[in-house]
Every structure is written in C-alpha cells, then in structure tokens.
Structure 1
Amino acid sequence: MRRDATSSARARIGAALLLLLSGSVVAAGEGDWPAFGRDPSNGHHSPLTTIDRSNVARLRPTWIFQSGVTGYFQAEPVIVEGVMYVSTTGNHVAALDAKTGRVLWTYTHKARTEKIFGPPSNRGVAVSEGLVFEATMDGRVIALDAKTGRLVWDQEAVRPEEGETETASALAATLGDKPVQGSSRLGFKMPPLVAEGLVIVGVTGAGYGLHVEDEKGGLDGGSVVGIEGGYGRRGWLAAYDAKTGAERWRWYVTKEDGWEGVFAETTPDGIPLNRDIAAEKAAAEKNRDAWKVGGGSLWMTPAYDPALGLIFLGTGNPAPQNFGLTRPGDNLYTMSLVALDVRTGQLRWHFQQVPHEQWGYDVASPPFLVEATTPDGQVKAVAQASKTGFIYLHERTTGRLLARSEPLITHKNLFAPPSPEGTVVSPGPLGAISWHPVAYDAVSNRAFAQVRHGAATYTIKTVPASGNRPELRYTETSEAKGEPTFSTLTAIDLASGKAVWSKKAGSRLSGGTLSTAGGLVFSGEEDGHLDAHDAGTGEILWRFQCGAGIGGPPVTYAVDGRQYVAVAAGGASFTKASGFGTGDALVVFALPD
C-alpha cells in the first residue's frame, strides 16, 4: 500500500508541475481532469485509486446529462475544481456540476455555414485562466467565460466558403443517385491545447475525399473517393492569443519549397513503398504547384513538453487522397510526426511515417510523452501509435527513432499501390490505430490501444471526358469483402515493443482508452458498451450498456473524495450501416455510497 500511495503522490505532483510550467493557472488537483489527456503529456492516465480491480464490478450510473442533440458525441470532458465542461454535437457547450450533473450554464453555437466537413462532431474544449476555448466545425475559435458561458471573443479562422472545388462537384454529378457527403472544406475537430498564453489548434478537411454511401445508407461501408489533381487544401496549425483571439503564428503542413523531398523508396524504418519513382519524377514539372492544395489535416491535440518548449503533433494524408501521380515526391510534411516551437511555430524536426502516402494512414492518434529505456539509459521520448499498426518512439529534441513496436495487426500487401483491378491492403484507412487516444501508464511502462483489424480495396477508376471537362481519374476505397474485421484492446510493453496481452472485442472499439492507478483500463465499443479491463491481464471486470455507441474517450475524476468515470455515448461512427444507434448522453458512473 505504501508503494502505491507514493506512486500516486508522485504522479499528482508531476502533473501539477507540468501544468504550472505550461503557463496554465488551472491546478491539477487530485480529482481534476483539467485538460485533454489530463495533462500536456497526453497520457490519458489518472492517479486515482478509489475505483480498482477489487470493486469496479460495483460501478453504477450516478447521473446522466442529455445534450438534446443526437449523434456523433465524441468529446472528452474537462473537469476543473468540481465543474465539468463538455462540448456536444454541433459545437454547443455545457458547464455541469461534476458531482450531481446539475447544469450551470449552456452555450448554443450558431454556425455560419451548414456546409462542413464530415459529421458535426467535436472532440472537446480547453479551460484556462477563467476561459473555456473551443474550435468549431465552421472554422471559428471561440472563448467563453467559464463562470457564465458568455462569449468573450470569436475568431473566424476559416472563411465559410473556403474549401469548395469544382472538381468535387463534377465527380459527384457522375456518381448518379448515390448520396455523396464531404469535400475539402476546412474546419476544426480537435480539442485545443493552451500553452504559453496561446490557444493552439489545427484544421481538418484539408485532404479528405468524398464519402459515397453504400446500399444500406452508410458511409463506412461505402467508399471514399480521392480525385486526381486540384483537390484539397493546405493543412495548418495556428496559435491564437488566449486573451484576445488574435492569431500569433501559423504553420503550414505542406512545404512550399521542396515538398517533393528525396523521393524515398522506403519508409524511414525500412519498409518498401512500391513507388514508381521514374513516373513521379517525369510528372514533377507539370505538378510543381501541387503543394498549394496538398492536404495534411490535423486530427488531434498535440502533446507538449514545457521544459523544451516543444509541441508534438501528427499530420494527415496528402491530397489528392489515395491518388499520387499528380503530387510527385514525398509530399512533406504530410503523414508525419512533427515537433514545433510552441512560441513561434517553427519546425524543429519531422519523421514522415509514410512518404507519398496513398492509403489514408493519417498520423491521427495524439502523441504522448514517455521516458524510454535505451542502452544509454533513460531518454525523454515521444510516442505515436500509427494507423499502420506500430507504436513509434522518438527522442524529443531531435526526432531520432529510438524504437518501433512489433506490428499490432496482420499486414497484407502493405503499401501496395491502388490499381484498376483493385488492390486489397491491410490495414485499411480506419486503422490499426486511428484518432482515438492511447492511454499510457508510466509505472508499468505500458500503452493501451484500441486496435482495428481489417482491410480495404483501393481501385483506380476513370470518368470519360464530357463536353469541356477532360477525362477524370479517381481512387475509390471500399471495405475489402471476405477479409476479417474486428477490434482488439491491446497492451504494449514500450520497453520491449511487444504486446503483453490482446483481447478481442464484441464490436468495433472506439473513442480511446483511459488507464488508472487502480489497475484498470476503460475502453468503449460501438455497440454501446463501456468496458473496464484488468490492466495486468486484460480480463473484463465490468461492462455497462450506455444505450448508444461510445464516441469519446472516457475520463475519471473525484469530487469530495468520491471517484467518478464519465464517457460520451452518442454514436461512435458516421455510418447508418453499423447497426448501432446514436444518442445524446454523457453517462457518469461511481461506486454506491
């Protein structure tokens, strides 16, 4: 018991120091969950121990908040000094008494455009110095008074019309009566990071293709279309003054000078990319301005090391999605883990996981900070869980690759290019590990990841020339028929890179993971179950049906000595074909009094 108490105390002190150094005045009290990931390390781990292996089976709902807006509820709540702040579908925000669920105030967002990228989901807010910050799907960054919900400032970061393309409209018209959703319209999904008096957030929608519904009315089971040439926008990350909303710096994902890179034949860790380098170089002059619409969406909140003054973030796929000939070269700095100076936005280093990417393997899951064991001793490292099925460890100051885990899925035709006859590749664009946060327990040095196993078929198609419109080529990405599809919750020992245990889920896992010093890992499923696993063995010790798919990361906090677990249950997938309903509930659990 003494050792457990000491470990918990150290974890609390470390979290408090990290927040103090970050410039935030929000105290990391023992019971708080004051920021995305709990602290700037993005660890999604709590030192609380009241709920543990011995009693988690007694966990029961204690209160429920219903937002009144159904669907795509993906937010991670933030809890500061007994108040919970949560964003809902459509970018509305509520402040709740974290002990009782009583509504303290609500903010109703009025979007300036109905045309947004993807479903109207939002993944959370940030709280600092009496303000609540949110980045919205219609391209705004806003600050609310934390006590009243009053709008303090509203910065239009993206013009409402930004992102329209004639090419997209032309292709949509050729697809007949199949419903089409999406375009390269810019907006925000990620919870902001607040550091050094700055609100830092990046756009999504920069390089995504059109979604074509299948015969069941779903999108995940349909296809994603990436169009040849002229489709996409430059992704970017920007910092705004926390007091005024004025933009302080902006970093663009696509490199203006030399985005072609070195025409790498392998990934940096040595896996062949199967590129036609000669064809790319031959097309380079014709497509020398491809970087101007080069993509690179930013999906999730950066990790932050205040001692180094660096933030670490993953970047998305280049545009046009899944179609590489009109964007020759490596397409820097898409598909990368990058380190930026927090005060200026200057690039310090990058590691491009997949140069010239054609499969939708965005570096999407939020990076997290760890202490890595190497032959030279302990090294401050940053870890990133990838869609390709690896967890990478990098030295923080230089980006040097320290280690890579064993593959967490079974690969099939990895990096085989799309083809007219259709190429089956595993994993598909949904993962291995997508945007969902990975929890990290520093005591055990284990990461806990929701891993999706599945394959996709990548097919190049042609639309004949018509009138003044030339021939149009595009890549269609659809679920590979006959290939196994399932999810596992997997624990990875970061010292060895090996999976310690892996448990197959009853439905697709979603939302991300939470680990606690009570020896537990919480993980949500698309069928509505929230599960609590033994962190040591993976055994399910408790589960509860929340009534709708789990869409957001679970969190835990304490008020007046009582520990709670909270999770958003509003539907986890933008597909009608999943068979699971949508909802509007934030469900909060506790042990009986």
Structure 2
Amino acid sequence: MYLRKFAPILVSLALVGILPYNCAPKEEKSSFKTAYSTWSSYLGDSGRSHFSTLSQITPENVQHLKVAWSYEASDWGQMQMNPIVVDSILYGVTAALRVVALHAETGKEIWQFGDSVKVWHSTSRGVSYWEKGNDKRILCTRGSDLFALDALTGKPIPSFGNNGKIDMRSGMPESAKNKFVISNTPGTVYKDLIVMPLRVSEGQGAPPGDIMAFNLITGVVEWVFHTLPEKGEAGYETWSEDPRESSIVGAANNWAGMAVDEETGIIYVPTGSAAPDFYGGNRLGSNLYANSLLALDANTGKRLWHFQFTHHDIWDRDPPAPPNLLMVERHGKKIPAVAQVTKQGYVYVFHRKTGEPLFDIEEVPVPPTTILGEEAWPTQPIPVKPKPFARQAQDLTQTDISAFAENKEELLEIFKTSDKRLYAPPALTPNFLFPGYDGAAEWGGTAADPDEGIIYVNSNEMAWNLQLGLADPIAKEMPQGKAAYQQYCASCHQNNREGIIASGFPSLLDLQLRKEKSEVATIITNGKGMMTGFPQLEKEEIDALLRFLFEEEVQHNVVETSIERTNDPSYKHTGYNKFLDNKGLPGISPPWGTMHAIDLNTGEYIWSIPFGDTPQLGEAGKGTGCENYGGAVVTENGLLFIAATKDGYFRVFNKHTGHILWQYKLPAAAFATPAMYEVNGKQYIAIACGGEKLGTKKGNQIIAFALE
C-alpha cells in the first residue's frame, strides 16, 4: 500500500538498496479500485476474493506473458503459500518454513527468517501483514509459535510476547499445552488483532479448536470463542457428554482460514469436524460448533449467528477453504453475502449480516448407522441451489467406471459392493466416498468477482474408500514400539508399514536405509506435510517407536510393557485408499478435475470445463482434467489465472467463457494460489512452484510473470 506520509521513509530505504527508488506514493483511486489493486493480504483481500482490478494484462495481450524473474529457495518441496506484496516487497514461505522477503520487481532476496540448521517439515500457506504508523510487521508461524517480524528487516519484534514470539496454545486450556497445535494458514488481521487458524490432531485426544484473537502489539490473548462449548454456553446441549472434559473428543478447529468484513467488524469462521473424525460414539449429538460457519464480532469474539453444514460429522466433511465475501443481487437490490464452498461440492450462500440463506436449504433424510454405539444424525442440510459442482456418489452408475482402466472388472466389483448412498455412514463394509476425503473444493480457495456476485471454483473428482474396522487390542506382552505404531501410525501407513503410496502415505519399510533416526524423531514430534505430529509422546515412547521403525526391536529382543489405552473407541478408520486403476489413474470416468463459474445472483452455472490434462495417456489424456490443489486469481477485465494441476501447467482462461488463452509449463507443479501486484507501473503475477504432492517432482522456485 502506498501511503503519502511514508514517502521519505521509502526513499531512504531505496537509497540503501532495500526498496526500489521509484516506489513513490500513488494517487488515490476509487475505494473499489484501491481495495483490489494490491495484494497485501492472504488471497488478495480480507474478503478472500482472489480478485484484482489491475488491467495491464488483457485478454488481447496475455499470450505475451513471459517469466520476469524467478527465485530459488535453499530448500525443496511442497509450497502451498500465496505470496503477499507490500510496498514493493514480496513475502513468502519456503518448503522448510523459512520466511523470505523478495524485491517484487526483481526477485532479489532482501532478508530471510528461519532456522539455518533445523528443517521444519510442515506446510504453510503464507504470512500476514499489519502496520500502524511506522510499525510494520509480518506474522508467521513455526510449530506452535506465532512470530512477529519487522517487515523491513525480518528481525523478531522484542516487545511481542517473548522476544518476538508467542505459543498459540497460550489461550487454550491446560490440557492442550503439550498437544499438536500448529497453523498452516495465515491469520486474519482486524485492527490490532490477529485471529489464528489452528491445525490440531484429527484423532482421539485432540485439543479443543478454540478460535483465538491475539493482540498484534503485545501478543496477549484478547478473546477466545469455544467451538466446543463449555457448560452453560449455547451449543453445549448438542453433545452427549461434556466435550471439554473428554479425554477423547476435541478439534472443531478452523484450519482453512477466515474472512472479515472490515466495515461491519464481523469475522466469518468455517470450523472443522470434531475429533475423532470417523467414529462419533463418544460425541453423540449434532456437535455444535463443529462443521459450521460462525459469524463472530471481530472485536469481542461474540457469536452473532451460525450455520452447521454437517451434523455429527463422521465423514471428515469440514469446510476446506475460507468463505468469500461478495455482493449478490436479489429483486434488483444488492445484498452483502458470504459464500462457503465445501468438500461435498455444495455452495452455501447467506446474508452476511443476518445469516439468512439466500437459496433454500433442505434437511434431507440420510441413512442410519450400523455401528454399535454410533448414532448418525437423521438429516443433513443440502442447498437447493446452486447444484453441486462435482458429481455425487449416489448419481454414479456402472457406466461411470473409467474406460481407460485395464482392470475394469475388478473396479466394477468394488463399485457394486460399496455403499454409494448420500451421507452413507461409515461401516465395517466399504463406502464409496465421492467427492473424496480432500473434497471437491480444496484449501486453495474460491475466487470471486466481489461486486458481480460470481465465484470461480476448481474441483477434484477423485473417489476414495471409506471403511471402519474393529480396533485391534494391544496385548500386554506386545513390544512398546509396535504398540505405539499400531496406535499412531498404522491407519495411514498400514499394519505392514507398506503405506498407501498412491494416496500420499509413503512406505516405512527399510526406513533405516533412507533416514536418520534424528530426522524421523523430529517428524514424529512436529509432523510433516499433512501428517500431524505427536508432541505429547514421552521420549521413552518415541525411542521405542524408533526401534520398531528401524527394525531394532526384534533384533535387540526388546520386550516392554505396552502403552495403556483407556476409553479407546471400539472402531478405527482403516486408512485413506483412493479408488484407482492398476495404472494409478482414477477408477471413475473423466473429468478428474474441473473448473466452474457460478452466478450466485441466480444460482446458475455460467460455464464448467475439465481442468488439466493427463500426460500419462498421451493424446487421449487431453481434456480429461486432473487432480488439483490451489486456487485462482480473477481480474476485473476478464482473466482467470490458475496453476494448481498435477500436470504442472500455469494457465489463463477467459473468465466469461472458460476458453483457455495461455499456458506455461512450470519447472515443478504449483499447488498454490498466485498473487497479482504492480510495481513501478508494471503488472506481475507470482506463483510458488514446489511440486512434491501427488507424486510430482520437487521444486524450489517462486516465479513471477509479466508482459515482455
């Protein structure tokens, strides 16, 4: 943002090489133009619109886009981050959670903040920015810590918390102090507050997913909203037992990010499912405020209204992205709206101030459970409009098995014997979960034209298997390491340690040939990628688990007392298995990825197209669509920019028609949302290319494009 009173400061910085000399303050534009001409907030603005009014790049000249600069990070791997740009500095996060400040015109590094020795294995979607007078701060996370950095130097602000950092668990109950709590998504800034999204465990014993606002100057907790209500609070009656006193139940956290209406002071918070994810026998009831959109007073945390998308979630159907704030038209009048996309492929649209649905939502009867001790909720809320932007399991037939599959009969048998009913509850027999665990919509978020009431959402169409099994008893004579593996690791990496490679869970066989114990110990404690960490484990238990993983437990004939499991659910999730053919391609027919433009004024689709290609199939793979993670940027003058696809391309579409105008093969797949900005009169769009996800090659670059 270009503020006239800071011109002398900016010029001084330019003279010492921190900023370009000619980044002088610019003339004020209209409020609409100004609000969407910068990219100083996650996903572009506080309404998470992914929208820009910059217009130098047009449908007529977009084919002349070229690489303007590229930055190579010192570490390699998945980068989900959406860069932000403030006063000609681009801020981003590398694969090892190192924060970098780059000259936005050249890509030259200005400063870097991070541990030069310790490598963090989590993912980050970016940073937040706050300023007050000459005080300019970057807010970032690493583990459970929230850091406040000087935006111009990268040095921690000593007056913030403890020498520049606070533990985000400081506002949580004592029971959460040693549990896994991190943040993958930038916090939402409002006045002198930052409200932090939190990622916690999805299994038993997870901490409560409280919504917390921290003072940006001091780091002190200003307010807390209990998503798991305390006794006496509204929503408490929707739980069969006290959720805050349970040693099993937790979560209902916001991990995907939030949006804030700065004019009204209302913050919109989508919450995740309660833990444990797939068995709810210890948390009977509808489980407020899990799986909800909360409208809170951003000043106090007071609840204004809420809507629950999934009652008593046992499918992990948490909203995967921040909501969009936009205006829609009803009866010739503009109405402030908030729209939330979901993993199921539904779009829910509400009046921003009252929470009134702007399209009817029906409570639809759904099947009962067959699991002892479980009580599935009898209805679920389904919007009448818009129609789902992904196919639904109950609508698929045998003709939807992929024609590309060589093992079609095998896939057909799985398909025929799987439960495909709407909201079929998890059972000891397989469910056909489609859209899958990761959803139709993803964490990359939905782009919106905030004044025209149109959203642009990319979607996955991948089927997965959902199934429960009986929890294996842990024998008293079982070695402690094997017992720990069975409790914490087997659901993803399988009892035989072979993993589910196609689903992103690596084999742990022969681990001693590939990893050092110290690295594996760090991953166990802190997590890696989408794997949650287990900081609550004592050193003795970690050492025992390492002996098992490194095949030393039997070798040394170590027999130890097993860990104790009390009140453990009788059922366990059997793992995340994709419905794939014998070549690793989706077992259903294409499209496997799609892109949609939806008019929320009417609830009708403007266009829908396959999104991405499948190079593995040669010419036949063009137009099949493919898996995609990351969001789009849409411009006022008619363009939609998006990478996100497994095939590794960066593409530009005509936002009115869905027609492709330009594409570029990136050095590594970009599972991230781009950022659009302007420096010295030139328009740029930057994207992080980290690859690694979905089996793609690793990358380490941030690349900016501009007209040649």
Q: Shorter-chain TM-score: what band?
A: 0.7 to 0.9
**What residue in structure 2 maps to residue 556 of structure 1?**
676
Contact 1:234 1:292 in 2 (8 A): no
Name the SS for the 1:511 alignment partner: coil
Equivalent residue for 1:446, pick from 437, 440, 454: 454
**What residue in structure 1 maps to residue 573 of structure 2?**
475
Name the SS for the 1:122 alignment partner: coil
Count, aligned residues: 506
**CA pair 240-442 structure 1, distance change in 2 beyond 3 A:** closer
The residue type equivalent to 1:478 in the other structure is N
Contact 1:341 1:347 in 2 (8 A): yes
CA drift of 1:79 comes to 0.8
Name the SS for the 2:169 alignment partner: coil
User: Which structure features the higher share of helix residues?
Assistant: 2
Contact 2:230 2:236 in 1 (8 A): no
The answer on 1:298 being equivalent to 2:418 is no
Equivalent residue for 1:329, pick from 253, 266, 285: 285
Equivalent residue for 2:387, pick from 406, 412, 420: 406
**What residue in structure 1 maps to residue 366 of structure 2?**
none
In 2, the alpha carbon distance for the partners of 1:120 and 1:162 equals: 24
Contact 1:511 1:572 in 2 (8 A): no
Contact 1:162 1:186 in 2 (8 A): no
Contact 2:321 2:341 in 1 (8 A): yes
Equivalent residue for 2:225, pick from 251, 267, 272: 251
The answer on 1:586 being equivalent to 2:702 is yes
**What residue in structure 2 maps to residue 512 of structure 1?**
631
CA drift of 1:402 comes to 1.1
Contact 1:91 1:121 in 2 (8 A): yes
Cα deviations by residue, 1:457-501 (Å, 9 ceiling, x for unpaired) = 211111343336578420234223433471111111111212211
Contact 1:262 1:330 in 2 (8 A): no
Cα deviations by residue, 1:357-400 (Å, 9 ceiling, x for unpaired) = 11121112111111122248322111111111111111112211
The answer on 1:149 being equivalent to 2:154 is yes
Name the SS for the 1:149 alignment partner: coil
Give the % identical residues.
28
**CA pair 539-376 structure 1, distance change in 2 beyond 3 A:** closer
RMSD, matched Cα: 2.9
**What residue in structure 2 maps to residue 349 of structure 1?**
305
List aligned pairs for 1:143-182, cutoff 5 A: 143-152=148-157, 153-158=164-169
TM-score by length of structure 2 reads: 0.67
**CA pair 455-111 structure 1, distance change in 2 beyond 3 A:** farther
List aligned pairs for 1:505-584, cutoff 5 A: 505=611, 506=613, 507-524=626-643, 525-571=645-691, 573=693, 578-584=694-700
**CA pair 290-110 structure 1, distance change in 2 beyond 3 A:** farther
The answer on 1:126 being equivalent to 2:82 is no
User: Which structure features the higher share of strand residues?
Assistant: 1
The residue type equivalent to 2:167 in the other structure is E
In 1, the alpha carbon distance for the partners of 2:577 and 2:179 equals: 19
The answer on 1:195 being equivalent to 2:203 is no
The residue type equivalent to 2:629 in the other structure is S
The residue type equivalent to 1:396 in the other structure is R
**CA pair 41-285 structure 1, distance change in 2 beyond 3 A:** closer
**CA pair 559-286 structure 1, distance change in 2 beyond 3 A:** closer
**CA pair 340-547 structure 1, distance change in 2 beyond 3 A:** same
The residue type equivalent to 1:474 in the other structure is K
**CA pair 89-163 structure 1, distance change in 2 beyond 3 A:** farther
Contact 1:256 1:292 in 2 (8 A): no
Contact 2:256 2:319 in 1 (8 A): no
Contact 2:672 2:687 in 1 (8 A): yes
In terms of Rg, which structure is larger? 2
Which range moved further: 453-462 or 230-239?
230-239
Name the SS for the 1:307 alignment partner: coil
List aligned pairs for 1:421-440, cutoff 5 A: 421-440=429-448
In 2, the alpha carbon distance for the partners of 1:566 and 1:523 equals: 11
**What residue in structure 1 maps to residue 347 of structure 2?**
391
Contact 1:74 1:572 in 2 (8 A): no
Which range moved further: 83-92 or 127-136?
127-136
**What residue in structure 2 maps to residue 268 of structure 1?**
none
**What residue in structure 1 maps to residue 101 of structure 2?**
95
Which runs of no fewer than 5 residues in structure 2 stay unpaired? Answer: 1-26, 158-163, 360-384, 394-420, 477-563, 581-586, 614-625
TM-score by length of structure 1 reads: 0.79
Which range moved further: 50-59 or 290-299?
290-299
Which range moved further: 484-493 or 41-50?
484-493
**What residue in structure 1 maps to residue 593 of structure 2?**
487
**CA pair 425-571 structure 1, distance change in 2 beyond 3 A:** same
In 1, the alpha carbon distance for the partners of 2:282 and 2:29 equals: 49
In 2, the alpha carbon distance for the partners of 1:288 and 1:93 equals: 35
In 1, the alpha carbon distance for the partners of 2:468 and 2:29 equals: 51
